[in-house]
């Protein structure tokens, strides 16, 4: 007879299923963890060997690119806003014109 206080062996299909999904979701285990890099490694990667002027020029170039992208986004969003207002106006006009027509006489 089983005692209620005995710990159960919890190897149900539910727990096995969850562990399989967890392993699948986490992906391969060969992913490298972040590590501290030396100043020299960073400078070598980004090719700024102590040249502050080159780093500043690069940062300015990136800033200008971001500015251009933002300006394009603002312009595109303004165009979308205008188009959506035109669409809403057209939809209201169609709705208003269709309210006065009967379904059996809709070609008139």
Beta carbons within 8 Å of 108's beta carbon, 6+ residues apart: 101
Q: What number of other Cβ atoms are within 10 A of residue 58's Cβ? A: 14
Torsion, Cα 70 72 78 79, to 10 degrees, reads -160
Q: Sorting pLDDT into bands at 50, 70 and 90, what band is 19? A: low
Calpha distance 80→86 (Å, rounded): 10
Q: For 82-87, what is the mean pLDDT?
A: 97
The answer to whether residue 11 scores a pLDDT higher than 60 is no
Q: Is the pTM of this model over 0.75?
A: no
Sign of the dihedral through C-alpha 36, 40, 46, 52: positive
Beta carbons within 8 Å of 98's beta carbon, 6+ residues apart: 106
CB 54 within 8 A of CB 48: yes
Counted residue by residue, the chain has a size of: 108
Tell which residue, 26, 29, 49, has the closest CA to residue 39. 49
Q: Sorting pLDDT into bands at 50, 70 and 90, what band is 101? A: confident
């Amino acid at each position: 007879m089983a005692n209620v206080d005995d710990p159960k062996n919890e190897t149900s299909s539910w727990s096995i299923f969850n562990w399989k999904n967890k392993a699948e979701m986490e992906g391969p285990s060969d992913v490298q963890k972040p590590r501290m890099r030396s100043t020299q490694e960073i400078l070598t990667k980004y090719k700024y060997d102590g040249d502050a002027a080159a780093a500043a020029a690069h940062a300015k170039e990136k800033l200008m690119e971001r500015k251009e992208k933002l300006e394009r986004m603002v312009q595109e969003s303004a165009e979308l806003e205008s188009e959506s207002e035109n669409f809403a106006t057209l939809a209201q006009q169609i709705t208003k014109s269709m309210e006065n027509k009967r379904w059996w006489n809709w070609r008139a």
